[in-house]
Structure 1
Amino acid sequence: MSVETPPAPDIAAVVQSLRAAFDSGVTRDLAWRRGQLAALERMMLENEAEIAEALKADLGKPFGEACTAEIDFVRKEASYARKHLRRWAQPQRAASPLAIQPGQSVIEASPYGVTLIIGAWNYPFQLVLGPLVGAIAAGNCAVVKPSEMAARSSALLKQLVERYLDPRAFTVVEGDADVSTALLAQRFDLIFYTGGEGVGRVVMAAAAQHLTPVVLELGGQNPCIVDETADLAVAARRIVWGRFLNAGQICVAPDHVYVAASVEARLLEELKAAVATMFGPDPKQSPDYGRIINARHTARLQALLADGRAVTGGQADVDDCYVAPTILTEVAADAPILAGEIFGPILPVIPYMTLDAPLAAINARSPALALYAFTKNKATADRIIASTRSGSATINDVVVFMANPNLPFGGVGASGMGAYHGRFSFEAFSHRRAVLRRSFALDASVRYPPFTKGKLALLRRMA
C-alpha cells in the first residue's frame, strides 16, 4: 500500500511556533512534562496493533520484534523517565570555596530550547520517540523528522503525535532529503541525529553554522571475538539472534566474527544450527524473519554475498526485498563486505591464530558503536576491553545492553558522539547550568583594587 507524499510544511513557521511555546515557559513545568510522558506511554499501549501493522508494511518486521524493540522499548523509556524525573531535575549542590562565601552553588538541568530529532528507518518509532523522551523530560520543544523510507510508520507517527502530545511543543515533519535540508538550515538549540556517518557529517556541518550542539548516533563495523574457551552453542545462539534481528538492519548487531582457528569449524556448525532452529528450513517463510527496507538495499546486499562462501543462506530475492540469513567464511581481509557497515543479514566469520590478530584489525578501524567478545577467561575479556575503543562493550552476549536504562548508549569517534537512554537521555537534552547565589553581606574589600602586598597575599590564599 502506497502512502501519499505529504505537503511541504512551512519549516520556518513551524520552528517559530515552537520557539514561542518554549519562551512561554509551558515546557518547564514538571507536572506538564510528566503528563506528556504518560501520554506517550498511552500512545504506544493503545495503538500497538496499528504500529505493528505499519512496521510490517515498511520492513516486514515480525510482531514480536515490533512489540519488544519498538512499542515496549519506547513505553518503558517513557515510564522510567516519568518515574525518575523529579529526582533528575533536582538541582545538584556544589561546594563553594572560601573566596565566594557566603554563597550557595548549585548545578541546574536547564532545557536547551527548540530541538530537532532526525530518525532512521530501521527502527522508525524507537529511534525518534526514544530521543523524544529525553527532550520531553528535560523540558524542550521538538521537531521530529522520521525517515521517509519507512513511509507507513512515518505517516502513523505524525498522526499519533498530533493526537496524544501537546501540539504547541511537539510536531512531526515528514518529507524527503530536501525537507531535512530545509530543517537543518534553521537555528535549533540541539540536534539529535540517528543514521549513517555520511549524513552525520552533513548534520554536523549544518549545526556548525549556528554553533548548535549535536548528538550523533551513527554506526560502523561492530566486531565480535569468540575464543577457544567460549561455550560455542550459547555464543552461536546469541550471535545469530543479534545478527539477524530486523533482518540485520540494526546498528548494534555484530558485523563480523573473529573466531579462534581451533574452534572455527565447530562454531560454524553451531551458527548454522542456530539459524535453522530460529528460522526453519526456509527463512523466507518464517513469521519471525523480516525484510530489507527496499529493493536498492537488497541489491546492495546481494552483491556482498559474493565476498565469501556461504555456510548457510546465500539466497536473495530483490523483488521480495529478501536476503536469507547468511553465514560467510573464506572472506578476504580486503573484501568489500568488511569495508563498511553491512546493515543486513550477512555474517562473515574470520579465523585467527592468536588474539593479537583481531585486536590489531579492530584497532586499525574507526571505533565501533558496539564490541562483543565470548570467552570464559576473565583475563582475555579484560584485555579485549582494555586494548580497544568502542561506544560499548559486552562480554558473552550481544545487543542486550540496550535494555539497561542505567547504561548510556552512544558511539565514539566515527560511530557517534553523545549518549542517551534512561537518565542519559535527560542529560543529553539538558544544559548543566552553574548557578551561584550570594547575599550583600561580607563584601570584603580585599577583592577590590588598589592591591597592597598584604591584600594580594590574602587574596591568593583565599583563592
Structure 2
Amino acid sequence: MKTYPLECVDLLRRARVAFKAGRTIKESFRLAQLDALVRMLEEHECDFVDALGRDLHKVRKSPTGYEFYCYFNITCLVISEPLGVVFIMGTWCSPVQMCLVPLVGAIAAGNCAIISPSEYTTHTAELLHRLTPSYLDNVSTYTAGATAGGVVELKFDHVFFTGNREDGNKIAQVAARTLTPVTLVLGGKNPCYVDQHCDISTTTQRIAWARFHNAGQSLVAPDYILCHTELKARFVQALKCCLMQFYGSDPRESRSFGRMVNLEIFNKTKDILWRSGKVAVGGQVIEGEKYIAPTILTEVAESDSIMQQDVFGPVLPVLTVDNVDEAIAFINRHEKPLCVYAYSSNSKVISRLMCETSSGSFCSNDSILQSLMVALPFGGVGKASGIGSYHGRYSFDTFSHKKSCLLRSTHLECVTYLRYPPYEERNLSLMTWASTLSQRSQGWYCLLITFFHGCISGYSEQVVTQPE
C-alpha cells in the first residue's frame, strides 16, 4: 500500500497531536501497547508465516522458532571500543571547558583526539596549542575557524561541536557527507519561568548571576524571563538592585564585569538590543571597549529580534504570563531549548514545568548548575539545541562504540542442529514445540517487557550469562 506525500503529512500531523496529548508518556499506556503488540504476533502468527512465505519464499515455520535454543550455552556481553580519531571543537564562550571536558571522555575511551579551540579566543587557543604536546600524547590542537567545514571533511571517527546553531548546522551537513557521527551542543533560547510564589530576593540574585556573568556569553544562561504578571514590577526592581549590588552604579568600572569577545559579537548583540522592547535598566554601549552594560528589557514581543535569535550578551528580556499554563504553552510553541529554568516555592509548579516541557536539561530554583554536574548527562534535544550528550560516564559513552559480543561453545549441537536445512516436517514440529513450551516467559512478551523495564529503570548496559 503506497503512502503519498499528502497522506504522510496528515499522518505526521496526527502523530504529533497524539504525542502532545501526553498519552504515550504514561507507563500504563506503554505496557498496554507492548501487550497489544505481543497479542498481535500471537493471534496472527500464521498470517505472518504466510506473508513471509509469499514475499521471500520463507520456510513455513514459526517466527519465534529460534528462541528455544538461543537460551542455552550462551554468554552475552558488551565491550566498549574506542571510536578512533575524534575532532573536538570548543566554543569561545568557555574555551577551556568546552575543549577539555569532552577531551576527558575521549581519552578515557581510548581515542586519539584533535582539539580545536575557537579562533575568537586567540590567547587561550595559543596556550592550549603550546601546552598540549608537553603533557598529552596522541592529542593535538588545531584552530579551524572558518575552515572547520573543510577539516571535518577529512573524515574523523566522531566530531564533537559546541557553539551556535548556524555553525552547528554547517558542521552536521559536512559530517553527513562522510557519515561521520556528531555530537552537537548548541545554544538556543533557554526560557526561565518565575512564578508568583517564589523567594524573589534569592530568585533575582541567581538569575542575575547566571545571565550576566561572563558578560552574558554563555550557552546555558537564561535567555528570557516568563514572569508572572503580578510579579513583574517587583521582579524588575529586584533585578536592578542585584545589578547594583554585583557591579556597582557603573558596571563599566567594575572588575567583576566582562567584555564582548570581539566586535562581531558586540555589533550583533547591540543591533538586537536596539531593535527589541524597552530598556528598563542599562542599555549603554561603548564600541571601543566592546562594552555592553547589563541590560534588562521590558515590553518585549514574541516577534522581536531578541526572541528570534541566539543572544550571547548581557541582555535579559522580561515577558509576562498570567499563569503556569501560559508559560508551558509559550515554551512548547518554540524549538526545544538546551535548558529550561523554573523558580517557584510550589512543588507542583516545578513538576509541571519539568514534565510538560522538553529540553536538554532542567533546573529548578537555580540556573546553570545542572550543566556542571558530572553525574548528569548534558546536551541538547532537537535541531535547535543539539544532538547527543556528555559529562562523566556519558562522555565515555559518547566516544565509545558498544560492541555486542556473544560467546558460545560447540556443546549442545543436538539441540542447535534443528535450525539447519533441510526443514523437514519433523524438525519443524520439534522447533515449534520447543518454542511454545515457555513462550510467555521466554518469548516475545518476556523480551519486550524486560526491555521496557530496563529502559525506564535506566539500564544502559547488561551482561547476561546463560548456563550450559
- Give the TM-score category using the shorter length: 0.7 to 0.9
Q: How much does 1:449 deviate?
A: 1.7
TM-score where L is the length of structure 1: 0.76
- Count the aligned residue pairs: 365
2:185 and 2:287 map into 1 onto residues whose CA distance is 29
Specify the alignment match of 2:251 in structure 1: 283
Which SS does the other structure have where 1:99 is aligned?
coil
Specify the alignment match of 1:454 in structure 2: 429
Structure 1 residue identity aligned to 2:267:
A
Specify the alignment match of 1:308 in structure 2: 277
Question: Relative to 1, partners in 2 of residues 1:457 and 1:347: Cα closer, same or farther, differing over 3 Å?
Answer: same
Specify the alignment match of 2:229 in structure 1: 261
Provide Cα deviations, 1:173-227, integer angstroms capped at 9, x if missing partner: 124312x122111111111111111121111112212211111111110000001
Which SS does the other structure have where 1:350 is aligned?
strand
Which SS does the other structure have where 1:147 is aligned?
coil
1:188 aligned residue (156, 159, 176): 156
Specify the alignment match of 2:63 in structure 1: none
What is the identity percentage for the equivalent residue pairs of Structure 1 and Structure 2?
Answer: 39
Higher Rg: 2
Provide Cα deviations, 1:123-169, integer angstroms capped at 9, x if missing partner: 11111111111100000011111111111111111111111101xx1
Specify the alignment match of 1:437 in structure 2: 407
Provide Cα deviations, 1:282-312, integer angstroms capped at 9, x if missing partner: 1111111111011121122222232222222
2:396 aligned residue (423, 426, 431): 426
Structure 2 residue identity aligned to 1:454:
S
Specify the alignment match of 2:351 in structure 1: 382
Specify the alignment match of 1:232 in structure 2: 200
Structure 1 residue identity aligned to 2:302:
A
1:259 and 1:109 map into 2 onto residues whose CA distance is 46
Q: How much does 1:170 deviate?
A: 1.1
The alignment yields a C-alpha RMSD, in angstroms, of: 1.6
Which SS does the other structure have where 2:288 is aligned?
coil
1:369 aligned residue (338, 353, 369): 338
2:176 aligned residue (182, 185, 208): 208
Structure 1 residue identity aligned to 2:113:
A
2:298 aligned residue (325, 329, 338): 329
2:303 and 2:172 map into 1 onto residues whose CA distance is 30
1:241 and 1:405 map into 2 onto residues whose CA distance is 21
1:153 aligned residue (115, 124, 129): 124
Q: Which deviates further from its counterpart, 440-449 or 393-402?
A: 440-449
Q: Which deviates further from its counterpart, 124-133 or 435-444?
A: 435-444
Q: How much does 1:97 deviate?
A: 8.0
TM-score where L is the length of structure 2: 0.76
Specify the alignment match of 1:144 in structure 2: 115
Contact 1:446 1:459 in 2 (8 A): no
1:300 and 1:189 map into 2 onto residues whose CA distance is 34
Specify the alignment match of 2:451 in structure 1: none
Structure 1 residue identity aligned to 2:394:
F
2:288 aligned residue (311, 319, 322): 319
Contact 1:409 1:419 in 2 (8 A): yes
Q: How much does 1:100 deviate?
A: 4.8
